[in-house]
Amino acid sequence: MRIKVIFILTFLISGLANAQTEINLMPYPAEITVGNGQFILTNEFNIGITNGTQRLFDGTTRFLRRLDGRAGLFFNQNYLGNTDNHKNAKLLIQISREGIVELNEDESYELQITGDQIVLTSETDIGAIRGLETLLQLLDADKQGYFFPLIDIRDEPRFPWRGLLIDVCRRWMPMEVIKRNLDGMAAVKMNVLHLHLTEDQGFRIESKVYPKLHELGSNGDYFTQIEMKEIISYANDRGIRIVPEFDIPGHATSWFVGYPELASAPGPYEIETGYGIKNPTMNPTKESTYEFLDNFLGEMAALFPDAYMHIGGDENNGKQWDANPEIQAYMKKNAIADNHKLQSYFNSRILDILNKYGKNMMGWDEIFQPGISKDIMIQSWRGKEALIASAQKGYKAILSNGYYIDLIQPTSFHYLNDPLSEDSPLRPEEAQLILGGEAAMWSEVVTPETIDSRIWPRTAAIAERLWSPGAIKDVDDMYRRLEVISIQLEELGLLHERNYEMMLRRLAGGRDIKALKTLTDVIEPVKIYERHNQGITFTTFSPYTRLVDAARPDAKIAREFRNLVDDFIETGDLALTQDIKGYLLLWVENHAAFIELAEKSPILKDAVKLSLDLSNLSKIGLQALSSSVDHDAGWKKEASIMLEAAKEPRMECELMVVSAVQKLVENSR
């Protein structure tokens, strides 16, 4: 059913050619019919709920507070409860049953808005909560006031697994970060928060069975079990599952600080402060290892209610295994040919433990080894090939490759990355095993101050890819809607918008940020893992308060300039040159003001060269548009040399308008 989603757009508004260009919904619904007229929002607005549940009462109360917060209206209802069941209420919510926060639960809903009443119908309270988010996004206004458009929506998710991974280990992310991002996830209908809880740099969950895990492996930064129960409850209220990850056998240094006997080489061990693939690995040949993990995983199975538990299983370099004579002797005695087979043996033992506690095992690509039970779930991070191979061999799988939001790739890249693209080689029964995907937010170079700017708003586009029909893939319209949704996400306490100028003010020492913002608006941090190759060694204590940290992925001004240049080159419309010249003149003139600011703010000193590059390439762009400049081969060659130099990263940042100016040069006559 999730694959054969019907996508119908019926347009009844006179002159409306495409509802997507008028309605700011994200994710976009499976079916939508737009009518002509409005439901006017007034102080008399009220809500009636039939067959309500506590989750729905709480969710509807949050909806009502966000609605009056946007409209400034004083509604009579406060907290929704059992007595709020009037069928003639302005918003009537009808559900059949309480939903279970588990894989494949029904999240569908129907939303009908007429001039007199709004009716939201769903099988479960979780579906109703999804529908309330759609209703909030539909709120509009004109000179008469606030209103909802008349509309008929029937909606359901394309995939049942729509997740976000947050790494709380490499850089500690406290509860307030988790909660505000859960609210953001709920707003765009995501339903899995994958918490990466153990790593070389920290053990982030309290264990009462083995307390030295968190006492010695965390530097004091960890979730108590009471706090984790609060997070689980908070997520449950929003229809979101919490899937914990305990990364084993590698990425495990923090385990060994308190319990070095688990490791494949003698200790002592210290919490790792650097990044990268480390050698410490659990010893898979000792029965005591499995006894320890049985006790620990049993404790965690009781804490986390979800059916899935993630064991990591990635990036084990095998060096400790190769250097341990006892492990080598064990492998020889038991005819274990190599480290891959040894890890497969380890995984099979862990699978037995998890099954004993009623949990399904989940892991990264590396756990996919011949012979392992098909009850496991594969999370593909290395490529779609692994995802396809998993499904072809009968394994459930989700996609994370292409959704690594820490890599600072553009929203459009993530948006067009589909777990089940039109050219997928999978047969229908194999395609059913692709359950969705997860955005992955690894925390090497973020802090609680900057993490939201790396997650949002791009993850909203990933959420749409995983919820909406595959036919919804207009990139320009996605960006248009994303800009609206990004501002709406702010009301949930997310910091992706507001912290931008705050960080610029700090960089400027409280001075005018105009020149700094003009530069930062057109730069982005370097992509993929290039930031680690810029001559700086990052640790868990590094400052992430510099220009590169304030700069955001997918810089809007730079993208708009590139689009403007593309339109000009495609159409030859000379009227567009005035807008292009406006940008270029701004960037030429900005350099002098930036120098003045940098002289008073030493943290910006090294960015002067970046500002100079922007000024110089802007001059080249103006020359390319000038009829008084001879655009001969010599000029083009000299301009291209300067532009190539401007492509080089500075302060771990790159100018995102170089390619557009290069196009102006190449197309100059």
pLDDT tens, position by position, 540-576: 999 999 999 999 999 999 999 999 999 999 999 999 9
pLDDT at residue 22 in the model: 77
Alpha helices in 35-158 (DSSP H): 54-71, 125-138
In a domain, 116, yes or no: yes
Q: Which of 155, 188, 205 is the last residue of a domain?
A: 155
Residues 425 and 548 in one domain: no
188 domain residue, yes or no: yes
Give 50's strand partners.
94
Rg (CA), the chain: 27
**393 contacts 426 by C-beta, under 8 angstroms:** no
Task: Residue 131: name the closest of 56, 221, 54, 79 by CA.
Answer: 56
Evaluate if residue 8 carries a pLDDT over 80. no
Q: Could you tell me if 463 and 137 are in contact, meaning their C-beta atoms sit under 8 angstroms apart?
A: no
- Reported as a pLDDT band with limits 50, 70 and 90, residue 373 is confident
Cβ atoms of 185 and 441 within 8 Å: the answer is: no
In this structure, the answer to whether residues 127 and 237 fall within a common structural domain is: no
Rounded to whole angstroms, the Cα distance separating 177 from 171 reads: 12
Q: Of 493, 512, 540, which marks where a domain is finished?
A: 493
Nearest to 251 by CA among 166, 321, 312, 309: 312
Query: Do the Cβ atoms of 332 and 384 come closer than 8 Å?
Result: no
**pLDDT at position 5:** 36
**Residues 403 and 517 occupy one common structural domain:** no
User: Does residue 614 form part of some domain?
Assistant: yes
Domain shared by 173 and 96, yes or no: no
**What CATH number is attached to the domain comprising 240?**
3.20.20.80
Q: Is residue 593 in some structural domain? A: yes
pTM here is: 0.96
- In angstroms, the CA 180 to CA 183 distance is 5
Residue 2 lies in a domain: no
Closest CA to 574 of 626, 508, 628: 626
Whether 43 maps to a domain, the answer reads yes
Q: Which pLDDT tens digit goes with each residue over 99-139?
A: 999 999 999 999 999 999 999 999 999 999 999 999 999 99
Give DSSP secondary structure letters for 337-393: -SHHHHHHHHHHHHHHHHHHTT-EEEEEGGG--TT--TTSEEEE-S-HHHHHHHHHT
The pLDDT value given to residue 517 = 98
Tell whether 519 is covered by a domain. yes
- 173 and 149 belong to one structural domain: no
Active site residue 315: yes
Do 133 and 228 reside in the same domain of the chain? no
Indicate whether 326 and 199 sit together in one domain.
yes
pLDDT tops 60 at residue 143: yes
Residues near 415 by beta carbon (within 8 Å), at least 6 away in sequence: 461, 462, 464, 465, 473, 475, 478
Question: Which of the listed residues 471, 493, 515 is the one where a domain comes to its end?
Answer: 493
Band of the pLDDT at 272, cuts 50, 70, 90? very high
Q: Are residues 127 and 211 in the same domain?
A: no
**Strand ranges for 175-269 from DSSP E:** 192-196, 198-199, 202-203, 241-245
Identified catalytic residue from 98, 315, 497, 560: 315
Q: What is the per-residue pLDDT across 583-630, written as a single tens digit (0 to 9) for each?
A: 999 999 999 999 999 999 999 999 999 999 999 999 999 999 999 999
The answer on pLDDT for 2 being more than 50 is: no
Residues 318-344: tens digit of each pLDDT: 999 999 999 999 999 999 999 999 999
Q: Is residue 1 situated within a structural domain?
A: no
Count of structural domains within the chain: 3
562 and 658 both lie in a single domain: yes
Half-sphere CA count of 212, side-chain side, radius 13 A = 11
Give the confidence band of 437 by pLDDT, cuts at 50, 70, 90. Answer: very high
Q: What DSSP designation does 492 have?
A: G
Tens digit of pLDDT for each residue in 148-183?
999 999 999 999 999 999 999 999 999 999 999 999
pLDDT band, residue 369 (cuts 50/70/90)? confident
Residues 209 and 251 in one domain: yes
pLDDT at 208 over 60: yes
What does the pLDDT read at residue 337? 96
Q: What is the 8-class DSSP label of residue 277?
A: -
165 shares its domain with 146: no
Query: In 3-state terms, what secondary structure has residue 180?
Result: helix
> Which pLDDT score, from 0 to 100, does residue 16 have?
34
DSSP annotation of 31: E
> What range does the domain containing 586 cover?
499-666
> pLDDT at residue 85 above 90?
yes
* 481 and 375 in a common domain: yes
